[in-house]
Structure 1
Amino acid sequence: MNSDLVILYEKMFLIRLFEETLLNLFSLGHLRGTVHTCIGQEACAVGVVSAIDPKRDTLCSNHRGHGHFLAFTDDTDGLLKEILGLASGICGGKGGSQHLHVNNFYSNGILGGMVPIATGIALSQKFAAKDGISVVFVGDGAMSEGVIYEALNIASLWQLPLLLVIEHNQIAQSTPWNLEHGSAIEGRPISFGIPTETVDGNDVQAVYASTKTIVDNMRQDSKPRCLLLNTYRLGPHSKGDDYRCITEISFHQTNDPLKRAETVLSENVKTRIQTLCQTRINHMLENFSLL
């Protein structure tokens, strides 16, 4: 059995449980505001983040960033405190679900807004000459934002160590990607001379392997790259606001990244990991008197 897959699966399962817990807490009235979960996209977060170095690389996320944050920090308690608005949260309870910062992790809820910031970070990393890279996650919906293309032009022109990760989850809130984009998304960064690789975003091992190769190459030449991950958002845009056909969602559930990983793992390993993660989530909830 692949030991790497065991580690990757545990991270994915923890993220899945955390996101499902948030939706449940919202339904019980413990959470307010928006709750953008990444259910169905866990392999993207875990595969990419597991291939970078949190100490020398930076990660810029977006409104759907809980999975990115947990894969980067493993801090479930700190994130829940922040989402609950507690002063003990990672940003003093003032950042909430979307506006997070700890160490080399940054996120905000402005669609596409982190790409120019990540590009500026990449410029500082180039000046530092310590082979750090700047990773930024966007969705297919954000690829309609003009500021992204201004940033990609700068990254290409100045040859900055920027890795743009596009989580192509097929829909921007309620708009299918084919009704929003007049051309293939992967062609956009290519038009700026940025090498782009397309990967099955629901195969966590494939995501990890591709990201590791890209990152290794970037440490050598400090040039920009793009990784497009084909995936699917199994949960709602935010809470219960879903506009998709049930049959469409059911079809994509057969390609759930967790289920795909589980086909390789033994029952004993799956049970051990699932029990471990559930116990951890339960302890977290007990600490907040939410269980």
Structure 2
Amino acid sequence: MILAMDAKRNDLLTGFYEKMVLINTVESSLLNLFAEGLLRGTVHTCLGQEAIPTGVCAALEPGRDIVCSNHRGHGHFLAFGGEARPLIAEIMGDASGVCRGIGGSQHIQLGNFYSNGILGGMSPVATGMALAEKRKGSGGVVVQFLGDGALAEGVVSEAFNMAALWSLPILFAVESNGFAQSTPTALEHAGKLSARGAPYGIPITELDGNDVLAVHAAAQEAVGAARGAGGPQILFMNTYRLGPHSKGDDPRDPAEIARHAEQAPIPRARAGLDPEWCDTTDHRIAAEVAAIIQGIRSARIAAQ
């Protein structure tokens, strides 16, 4: 029994590692493309937060569950089953992108995946979707990803209230990375931030958002409760954003970032896996993403 459990854990971790490395590689590549002037607008990456989209989305059923993402949503898209090429093409403004190149980084829609860049703006949208799923009796659960900065928005509290009042099948997945743009959480929020949903009676699970297996286990439980008529749930996941808020605007101490990088999701997962396999996986995914980008570049040149 113990050996079977260890094998299952290893299978989960290897799959999660591959997904997190893909997210990390795509995000790093996007920052490089922005530096080259090949992206329009801006780009917000989730470097250092890869365990949260990976663990949460692995607990969902893409055919009936819904993900409502935010401005930092590339990882959510990839973790929910989206492919790297149409995502990268979209952000590069290419017509072969998932939204034909007109949605960009913050406005992506595919199947049951929706994103929007307005801070906290998806909370009422996600709550309305959850109400619709409940009325249809679909058994679907809506997951809304939001950061700790969004908890300062009044519309989020309103969504908590309605979701609790109507006992809706929704999971609020809070990615608490310690900053709202460049403002530390302690300078923005009074009180205990993880308890924001408590006055509405919403069950809250606070956990280490850099532990992908812990995130997945908590998400499975929360999604199961929401799907089973347990009403709204909150996962409050503590993590740290290693990349800039957007592009290169990062006033933080590099030494602070380096300390947190040691406990980031990918190194944490790597510690439980075969190093040689990890190296091979890293190189393979890097080559695949590089080939995608080169293909988009070549197609552009050929079309000129």
TM-score strictly above 0.5: yes
Contact map agreement 2:49 2:239 (CA 8 A) in 1:
yes
Deviation per residue, 1:70-91 (Å, 9 max, x gap): 1112311111111111222111
Match of 1:5 in 2: 13
Match of 2:281 in 1: 273
Shift of 1:222: 4.6
Match of 1:216 in 2: 224
1:96-175 to structure 2, matched below 5 A, reads 96-175=104-183
Contact map agreement 1:131 1:222 (CA 8 A) in 2:
no
RMSD over aligned Cα atoms = 1.3
Shift of 1:33: 1.5
- 1:31 equivalenced with 2:44 (yes/no): no
Q: Percent identity?
A: 49
1:58-97 to structure 2, matched below 5 A, reads 58-97=66-105
CA distance in 2, matches of 1:278, 1:187: 40
Alignment TM-score, normalising by the size of structure 1: 0.97
> Is the partner of 1:138 in helix, strand or coil?
strand
Q: Which moved more, 1:218-227 or 1:96-105?
A: 218-227
> Is the partner of 2:143 in helix, strand or coil?
strand
Structure 1 residues 98 and 192: CA distance shift in structure 2, 3 A = same
Q: Which one-letter code corresponds to 2:164 in the other structure? A: S
CA distance in 2, matches of 1:169, 1:234: 9
Q: Which moved more, 1:184-193 or 1:197-206?
A: 184-193
- 1:45 equivalenced with 2:53 (yes/no): yes
Q: Which one-letter code corresponds to 1:193 in the other structure? A: G
Match of 2:291 in 1: 283
Q: Which one-letter code corresponds to 2:222 in the other structure? A: I
- 1:190 equivalenced with 2:237 (yes/no): no
CA distance in 1, matches of 2:30, 2:159: 33
CA distance in 1, matches of 2:63, 2:57: 12
Task: Give the counterpart of 1:176 among 155, 173, 184.
Answer: 184
CA distance in 2, matches of 1:177, 1:275: 36
Q: Which one-letter code corresponds to 2:76 in the other structure? A: H
Q: Which one-letter code corresponds to 2:208 in the other structure? A: D
> Is the partner of 2:297 in helix, strand or coil?
coil
Shift of 1:286: 2.3
Shift of 1:245: 1.6
Structure 1 runs (4+) deviating above 4 angstroms are: none
CA distance in 2, matches of 1:153, 1:22: 37
CA distance in 2, matches of 1:151, 1:216: 20
Shift of 1:290: 6.5
Contact map agreement 1:133 1:222 (CA 8 A) in 2:
no
Structure 1 residues 290 and 235: CA distance shift in structure 2, 3 A = farther
> Is the partner of 1:125 in helix, strand or coil?
helix
Contact map agreement 2:168 2:226 (CA 8 A) in 1:
no
Contact map agreement 1:83 1:93 (CA 8 A) in 2:
yes
Contact map agreement 1:168 1:228 (CA 8 A) in 2:
yes
Name structure 2 gaps, 5 residues minimum: 1-6, 300-304
Q: Which one-letter code corresponds to 1:149 in the other structure? A: S
CA distance in 2, matches of 1:5, 1:58: 24
Shift of 1:62: 0.3
Match of 2:24 in 1: 16
Task: Give the counterpart of 2:269 among 261, 266, 285.
Answer: 261
Q: Which one-letter code corresponds to 2:269 in the other structure? A: A
Q: Which one-letter code corresponds to 2:64 in the other structure? A: R
Q: Which one-letter code corresponds to 2:258 in the other structure? A: S
Match of 2:209 in 1: 201
Deviation per residue, 1:19-51 (Å, 9 max, x gap): 000011111121131110000000011010111
CA distance in 2, matches of 1:201, 1:189: 18
Contact map agreement 2:39 2:93 (CA 8 A) in 1:
no
Q: Which one-letter code corresponds to 1:9 in the other structure? A: Y
CA distance in 2, matches of 1:142, 1:217: 24
Name structure 1 gaps, 5 residues minimum: none
